[in-house]
Amino acid sequence: MAEYSRLEIEVWHEWEFSAEGIRPDQPKWVTTTATQHFMPPQTTPLTNLFLAGSHTRTQAHVRSIEGAVESGRRAAKAIDSRVTVIDQHIPGWVRIISKIDDVFYAAKVPHVVDLTIVLLFSLGLLGLWYLV
Task: Answer with the residue of higher pLDDT: 68 or 121.
Answer: 68
Mean of per-residue pLDDT scores for the chain: 79
Query: How far is Cα 40 from Cα 61, in angstroms, rounded to an integer?
Result: 13
Burial, 108: exposed, middle or buried (Cβ in 10 Å; 0-12, 13-18, 19+)? exposed
What is the pLDDT averaged over residues 81-94?
A: 89
**Predicted local confidence at residue 30, as pLDDT:** 56
% of the chain with per-residue pLDDT over 90: 21
pLDDT band at 34 (very low <50, low <70, confident <90, very high): low
% of the chain with per-residue pLDDT over 70: 73
Closest by CA position to 52, among listed 69, 64, 36, 66: 69
